[in-house]
């Protein structure tokens, strides 16, 4: 009986449980579908929220930060020396090379045979702020095979930031190569544009950094262009001559097409007609800024030698006289500052020929006015018809003159007819006659 009871009790475990109050048989049975549904919801995991790119990068860096730090240190150890010794100096040198250094204006003033005063205005244009320590620039001719600077200029300390003016004021420089300076001044005189080539080293400071940069620059500057436009504006005879022999005075135009003002001291020029020396003129305290420059002169005309050489003088003027002009050739003789001669200027000017073309009418008028006591023109002295065909035809029809050949023999010559009535062109025979008349009037007063 006991065993049966135990077996029955064993199988009763599968029967529905009773209530806690012992009324197990009355409790409703739980639906099996509801139980399985509840178990399924509780076991399903929640959906993960996706990371943003920034979060991914942050997580990645966090995982590998020590690797990156080590690689970064290695790169810095390699690159820092390159940055400070190669890259920054190369950038600085490139900025220096890009500087045009245009010459805005300047002055070259002769002081002595071995010195000059120099004033220059230029500018720097830098993309960033920088400081340049004082630097010496050596000026040389780049086409000379051997590097041979002839002067040097010291730049002041410069704080550059974008466009920055740079001025060298009244700096005394020494001539270090006479031959090369003469060569450069010769180009200043002859050419419309001249090279100014400089070389040197500059210390450039960018904050606490500083590095050396090389300067090697050729700058174009406008120059004298052969004193194109040189002319004698007026010429007067002085009677009686002064004690030192001075017997002429006048004004001339010395044009400077360049931007550099030249201070050349006292200049002496010889006057020639062809190859015959007529005299000389002195021009004092010659300073030539840009543009036309009217300068007074005094001098001596060799009147005692003028008449014996009159035939040769007129022959040398035949082409100019055909156009009613006379040409005077001037060439340098001496250059002095404070009574001391300046060889590097003389060697340039003494090899140059400056041609001044003067109308014969003006020249004769100036000669006659020298003795009239006032500025009377030739037309006032000879009447209202001077210079036109009526006067010239009368002159050619009634005035016989002589021409002197090279051996001094006087040959009779009948002056030819002039151009048709109404023409104002004065031909060679008429201009020779006018020139002779003016000279005779002047010499008669001496």
CATH number for 161:
2.60.40
Instruction: Identify which of 85-89, 197-201, 235-239 has the greatest average pLDDT.
Output: 197-201
Q: What is the mean pLDDT of the chain?
A: 78
The DSSP secondary-structure symbol of 324 reads: T
Please say whether the beta carbons of 233 and 254 come within 8 A: no
Q: Which of 223, 244, 264 is the last residue of a domain?
A: 223
* Same domain, yes or no: 263 and 212: no
Q: Are residues 231 and 327 in the same domain?
A: yes
Of 228, 296, 283, 279, residue with least CA distance to 257: 228
426, pLDDT greater than 80: no
Query: pLDDT-based confidence at 435, cuts 50/70/90?
Result: low
Given a cut of 90, whether residue 21 has pLDDT beyond it is no
Residues across the chain: 446
**Range in 98-102, 251-255, 398-402 the model is least confident about:** 398-402
Res 363: pLDDT: 78
15 located within any domain? no
pLDDT band, residue 44 (cuts 50/70/90)? low
216 plus 143 within the same structural domain: yes
pLDDT tier at 252 (50, 70, 90 boundaries)?
A: very high
Residue 72 inside a domain? The answer is no
- Does the structure show a pLDDT above 60 at 198? yes
Q: Do 168 and 241 fall into the same domain?
A: no
Q: Are residues 248 and 322 in the same domain?
A: yes
pLDDT of residue 415: 36
Same domain, 283 and 208: no
Least confident residue range of 40-44, 153-157, 248-252, 269-273? 40-44
Specify which of 70-79, 81-90, 136-145, 199-208 reaches the highest per-range mean pLDDT.
136-145
- pLDDT of the residue at 80: 73
pLDDT-derived band at 103, boundaries 50, 70, 90? very high
Same-domain check for residues 250 and 164: no
Q: Say how many domains are in the chain.
A: 2
Structure confidence by residue, pLDDT tens digits, 274-329: 889 999 999 999 999 999 999 999 999 998 888 788 888 888 888 888 888 889 99
**Taking 60 as the threshold, does the pLDDT of residue 189 lie above it?**
yes
Same domain, 218 and 237: no
Residue 417, pLDDT score:
34
Q: Give pLDDT, residue 63.
A: 74
Distance in angstroms (rounded) separating the CA atoms of residues 54 and 49: 14
Q: Same domain for 216 and 231? A: no
Final residue of a domain: which of 199, 223, 247? 223
Asked whether residue 425 carries a pLDDT value surpassing 50, the answer given is: no
Q: Would residue 151 count as lying in a domain? A: yes
Residue 74 included in any domain:
no
- Please report the sign of the dihedral spanned by the C-alpha atoms of residue 67, residue 72, residue 77, residue 82: positive
* CA-to-CA separations, 293 to 245, 255, 270, 330, 349, in angstroms, rounded: 27, 6, 20, 17, 17
Whether 403 is covered by a domain: the verdict is yes
Q: Is residue 33 part of a domain?
A: no
pTM as predicted:
0.70
Distance (Å, whole) CA 218 – CA 198: 6
Task: Give the pLDDT band of residue 82 (cuts 50, 70, 90).
Answer: confident
Residue 239 and residue 119 share a domain? no
> Which of 168, 194, 223 finishes a domain?
223
User: Looking at the structure, do residues 160 and 235 belong to the same domain, yes or no?
Assistant: no
In a 10 Å sphere around its CB, with 0-12 CB exposed, 13-18 middle and 19+ buried, how is residue 75 labelled?
A: exposed
- Structural domain including 286 reads 226-445
Please name the residue that has the structure tokens 């002195």. Answer: 282
Q: Is 187 helix (H, G, I), strand (E, B) or coil?
A: helix
The pLDDT value recorded for residue 371 is: 63
Q: Is residue 5 part of a domain?
A: no
**Domain presence at residue 131:** yes
User: Phi then psi for 134, rounded to 5 degrees?
Assistant: -50, 135
Identify whether residues 421 and 289 lie together within a single domain.
yes
* pLDDT above 90 for 375: no
State mean pLDDT over 142-150.
94
């Amino acid at each position: 009986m006991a065993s049966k009871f135990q077996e029955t009790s064993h199988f009763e475990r599968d029967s529905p449980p009773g209530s806690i109050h012992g009324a197990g048989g009355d409790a409703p049975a739980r639906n099996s579908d509801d139980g399985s549904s509840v178990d399924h919801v509780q076991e399903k995991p929640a959906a993960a929220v996706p990371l943003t790119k920034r979060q991914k990068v942050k997580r990645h860096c966090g995982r590998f930060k020590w690797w990156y730090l080590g690689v970064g240190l290695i790169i810095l150890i390699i690159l820092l020396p390159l940055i400070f010794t190669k890259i920054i100096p190369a950038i600085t040198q490139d900025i220096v090379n890009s500087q045009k250094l245009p010459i805005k204006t300047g002055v070259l003033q002769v002081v002595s045979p071995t010195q000059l005063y120099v004033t220059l205005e230029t500018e720097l244009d830098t993309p960033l702020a920088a400081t340049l320590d004082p630097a010496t620039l050596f000026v040389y001719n780049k086409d000379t095979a051997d590097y041979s600077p002839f002067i040097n200029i010291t730049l002041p300390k410069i704080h550059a930031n974008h466009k920055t003016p740079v001025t060298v004021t009244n700096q005394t420089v020494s001539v270090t190569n006479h031959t090369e300076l003469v060569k450069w001044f010769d180009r200043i005189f002859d050419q419309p544009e001249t090279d100014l080539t400089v070389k040197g080293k500059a210390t450039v400071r960018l904050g606490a950094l500083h590095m050396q940069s090389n300067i090697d620059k050729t700058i174009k500057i406008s120059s004298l262009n052969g004193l194109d436009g040189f002319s004698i504006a007026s010429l007067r005879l002085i009677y009686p001559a002064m004690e030192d022999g001075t017997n002429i005075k006048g004004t001339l135009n010395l044009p400077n097409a360049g931007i550099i003002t030249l201070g050349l001291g006292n200049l002496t020029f010889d006057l020639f007609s062809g190859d015959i020396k007529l005299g000389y003129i002195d021009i004092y305290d010659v300073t030539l800024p840009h543009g036309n420059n009217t300068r007074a002169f005094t001098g001596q005309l060799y009147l005692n030698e003028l008449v014996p050489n009159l035939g040769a003088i007129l022959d040398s003027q035949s082409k100019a006289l055909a156009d009613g002009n006379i040409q005077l050739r001037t060439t340098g003789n001496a250059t002095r500052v404070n009574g001391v001669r300046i060889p590097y200027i003389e060697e340039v000017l003494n090899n140059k020929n400056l041609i001044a073309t003067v109308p014969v009418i003006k020249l004769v008028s100036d000669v006659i006015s020298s003795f009239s006591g006032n500025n009377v023109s030739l037309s006032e002295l000879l009447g209202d018809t001077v210079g036109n065909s009526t006067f010239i035809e009368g002159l050619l029809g009634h005035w016989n003159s002589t021409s002197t050949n090279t051996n001094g023999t006087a040959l009779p010559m009948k002056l030819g007819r002039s151009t048709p009535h109404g023409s104002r062109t004065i031909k060679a025979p008429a201009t020779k006659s006018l020139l002779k008349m003016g000279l005779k009037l002047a010499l008669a007063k001496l």
